[in-house]
Amino acid sequence: MAKKQAATIKNKKAIDLEKNVSDATDQFLTTNHGVRIQDNQNTLKAGERGPSLLEDFIFREKIFHFDHERIPERIVHARGSAAHGYFQPYKSMADLTKAGFLSDPNRQTPVFVRFSTVAGSRGSTDMARDVRGFAVKFYTDEGIFDLVGNNIPVFFIQDSIKFPDLIHAVKPEPHNEIPQAASAHDTFWDFISLMPESAHMIMWAMSDRSLPRSLRMMEGFGIHTYRFINAKGVSTFIKFHWKPKLGVHSVAWDEAQKISGMDPDFHRRDLWEAIENGSFPEWELGIQVIPEKDEHKFPFDLLDPTKLIPEELVPVQRIGKMVLNRNPDNFFAETEQVAFHPGHIVPGLDFTNDPLLQGRLFSYTDTQLSRLGSSNFHEIPINRSVAPVHNNQRDGHMRQTVNRGTTSYQPNSIGGGCPYQAMLSEGGFSSYPEPIAAPKVRARSVSFSDHFSQATLFFNSQSKPEQQHIIDALSFELGKLTYPEIRKRMVGILTQIDKGLAASVAANLGIAVPEAPEKPINQGMPADADAEKYESKKGKSVIDKSEALSMAGTIKDTIATRKIAFLVADGVQATDVALVKTALEKEGATVELVAPKLGAVATADKAAQAVDKSFLTTASVLYDAVYVPAGADSAKKLAADPDAVHFLNEIFRHCKAIAFGQGAESLASQTYFAGKTDEGLIQGKDLVPRFIKAIAGHRVWEREASRKVPA
């Protein structure tokens, strides 16, 4: 009887659970309340290029659910590193904006900057192939301004209603929570292969830009088009750029994977140590300025977040600098609790109708409520405005402010009308009065329909090594897929960007290039819209190549903050160690002595030379270059050590500078590169200046042509 009763209970539970099982096969897409959705690609707007409307219950339900899917870490940008600093303009920008922090070149505005990966969790590696967040909080005298961007100037999607779909696709797959912090899996590429609007961003994400050498060596972008408003009420379109003073540099993919194993905190450690050592990271703030009259002069739409403005068409004006000079005192209180929001702006700045930006203006506040647990997240010290805060918002979970007085409403007479509204002349914020007269529609402007010309421009602008890295990245990512049809569909997309690119990737995948790209089941336009009007077609770029899109021409005149390994063993010449070490440190580099074991080695003159690391505690991938100091005995011992030979082979494979002091050249004969010569292999006359120049050059990427280095 008991067994029968237990079985009945078990069956009842199974039946109850079955009610919660959802199978979407052959079903219509609906809201959470069962309403069938006719368009899941576009937010409701006032006209095709107009602002998104608050009444869009489908978007609000979708983004609300997405914002509250994870607790307590961020859904995206969960893994972050941050620092304090200041921003200072070079000159007054009052002709373009009335924002006070941009009007006085003598004013330093405090900032807090958070860098992050996007896809991984808090515990994931810094070195995943991923977009990097680049968010800056300005504590201005007029309130908080958050410039929330990435290290890539465009994005995957054009409309914010697709953001939950994008992130669901790139996150670990829901049935097994695999893979972590990686896009090389079926669901991501299934989504991308059906979204041609992602083509441009995919070129960036598969490029070396997604593998920065350091957070201090990557660009930042505001992504969207914003507005500057001056004191006369004149509006100007603006694109924001952050240009690193150290140049834009990357690591190799093989190197990134090994760094993830040796030091998954590589970027976080690098930023922290640079600031602690007084090597303060610096960026220049640049803007691209587009007068309102030129809004429609380009062959792309300024409101399309999958497009950039080539710098050859609109140069970047550098208007100020940002210096990061202080590490956080407490990671959780500052880096983890900081809350950014593109809707935090000050007088002199305003938004455009970019449909991705419009959705972010809702989503970020909603996310903070879920993640930080209170509508009072602005009272957490790291989020607190330095400008006085006075309003009638009261109470709520974790309220810190003690409000005096008897009135909490406005207008009032009991409290003398306070706090009262500010006139424009008193610094009151006023939205730009952009005229709008359009029907309510779920649609996308035909000016958003060219998905491939800028992807082609980006690929054409890359150096040969950079192009090969994109081919390798796509081959790796698509090679991880288990659905052949997704690979084929994605190669079809690549044919629209560059036929040589598609052919190379297809060859690596062992498949034929499709005769024609498969027409996606959904091209981001309304299903029953005018097919000809909304057909995604390849347009023509104004220019064929943009030097600014390649890292080949970046700053290569400094070795400041570069990390150099000296390989030493018993018999090393102490004078040579001191000479070269002093010369490199004078240029701002950091030197570490690496030996077969920790402690000290005996120099040629029988003194003890302390070492910093051993081959057991470090690896070549954690250094920018290697030097083998003079000393025949030391070189001989290193030549007999497999770890030392591997160290050198690997650093050669990753295209870094290698130098040999007098008598140490014999060690090279035991390596893969014995007998080879290039600008990154240094020995003999004028060694130090040539070595410094080679390190500053970052990499000798041409070495990769052989692709046979056994490291």
In a domain, 391, yes or no: no
Using DSSP, state whether 658 is helix, strand or coil: strand
Residue 110, exposed/middle/buried by CB under 10 A (0-12, 13-18, 19+)?
Answer: middle
Beta-strand pair 625-628/613-614: unpaired
**Pair 576, 693 in one domain:** yes
Which of 54-58's residues contact partners 24+ apart within 8 Å by CB, and which partners?
Answer: 57/31, 58/31, 58/161
Parent domain of 616: 563-705
Cα atoms found within 13 Å of the Cα of residue 70, Cβ hemisphere only:
14
For residue 258, give the H/E element and its range: helix 253-262
Q: Residue 86 is inside which H or E element, if any? A: strand 80-89
Last residue of a domain, one of 341, 358, 383: 383
Distance CA 381, CA 128 (A): 31
Pairing of strands 590-595, 613-614: parallel
Instruction: Tell me if 364 is assigned to some domain.
Output: yes
The verdict on 576 and 634 lying in the same domain is: yes
Separation of alpha carbons 399 and 569, rounded Å: 61
Contact partners, residue 269, CB within 8 Å, separation at least 6: 263
Would 286 be classed as within a structural domain?
yes
Is residue 173 one of the residues assigned to a domain? yes
Give the Cα separation of 450 and 521 in Å (integer). 17
- Give the alpha-carbon dihedral of 296, 302, 304, 309, to 10 degrees: 120
Q: Is 36 exposed, middle or buried (0-12, 13-18, 19+ CB in 10 A)?
A: exposed
What integer pLDDT is reported at residue 707 of this predicted model? 57
pTM of the predicted protein model: 0.89
Distance CA 562, CA 277 (A): 12
Of 151, 544, 553, 551, whose CA–CA distance to 313 is shortest? 544
Q: Which residues contact 426 (CB under 8 A, 6 or more apart)?
A: none
List all residues 6 or more positions away from 626 whose beta carbon is below 8 Å from its beta carbon: 564, 565, 566, 567, 620, 647, 648, 651, 656, 657, 658, 659
Last residue of a domain, one of 324, 352, 383: 383
Does residue 690 lie in a domain region?
A: yes
Beta strands 608-610; 226-229: pairing state: unpaired
Q: CB–CB of 144/385 below 8 Å? A: yes
The token pair that represents 207 in the structure block: 């490029």
In contact, 662 and 630? CB cutoff 8 Å: yes
339 to each of 135, 171, 437, 491, 699, how far by Cα in Å? 10, 22, 35, 39, 37
User: How many CA atoms lie less than 13 Å away from 466 in the CB half-sphere?
Assistant: 22
Question: Do 212 and 74 lie in a common domain?
Answer: yes
C-alpha span between 414 and 96 (Å, rounded): 41
Q: What angle do CA 97, 304, 82 make, to 5 degrees?
A: 65
- Residue 536 has a pLDDT of 43
Report pLDDT for 526. 45
Flag whether 30 is in a domain: no
> How many CB atoms are located within 10 Å of the residue 17 CB?
9
- Angle of the 499-509 helix axis to the 464-479 helix axis, nearest 10: 40
* Residues 346, 459 share a domain: no
Residues 6+ away with beta carbon under 8 Å from 113: 82, 83, 85, 134, 135, 136, 137, 322, 324
E-assigned strands of 536-589?
A: 563-567
Q: Please tell me the number of Cα atoms within 13 Å of 487 on its side-chain side.
A: 22
Same domain, 570 and 538: no
Please give the structure tokens belonging to residue 125. 């590696």
In terms of domains, do 121 and 249 share one?
yes
**Assigned domain for 178 exists:** yes
Are 130 and 150 in contact by the 8 Å Cβ rule? The answer is: no
Query: Residue with structure tokens 């050592």?
Result: 277
At 365, the amino acid letter reads T
Q: Where are the alpha helices (DSSP H) in 374-483?
A: 453-461, 464-479
Residues 543 and 590 in one domain: no
Domain count, the chain: 3
CB 260 within 8 A of CB 117: no
Please answer whether residues 257 and 127 qualify as being in contact, where contact means their C-beta atoms are separated by less than 8 angstroms.
yes
Same domain for 93 and 133: yes
Give residue 578's pLDDT: 98
Domain match, 333 and 267 both: yes
φ/ψ of 325, rounded to 5, equals -130, 10
Q: According to the model, what pLDDT value does residue 398 have?
A: 83
Regions of the chain short of the pLDDT cut 50: 1-18, 71, 524, 526-538
Rounded Cα distance, 595 and 603, in Å: 12
Q: How far is CA 264 from CA 215, 281, 336, in A?
A: 14, 21, 18
State whether the Cα torsion 38-44-47-48 is positive or negative. Answer: negative
Both 229 and 343 in a single domain?
yes
In sequence order, the 6+-apart residues with CB closer than 8 A to the CB of 450 are: 299, 300, 536, 537, 538, 539
Find the helix packing angle between 186-193 and 163-170, rounded to 10°.
140
Distance CA 626, CA 666 (A): 15
415 lies in some domain: no
DSSP 121-189: -TTS-TTSS--EEEEEEEEETTEEEEEEEESSSS-S-SSGGGHHHHHHHHSPBTTTTB-TT---SHHHH
* DSSP code for 683: E
Rg (CA), the chain: 28
- CATH code assigned at 352: 2.40.180.10
**CA gap 700, 485 in Å, rounded:** 37
Which CATH number characterizes residue 499's domain? 1.20.1370.20
Q: Are residues 493 and 604 in the same domain?
A: no
- Domain CATH for 609: 3.40.50.880
Query: What residues are labeled active site?
Result: 77, 150
**64 & 205 share domain:** yes
From 346, 368, 383, the end of a domain falls on 383
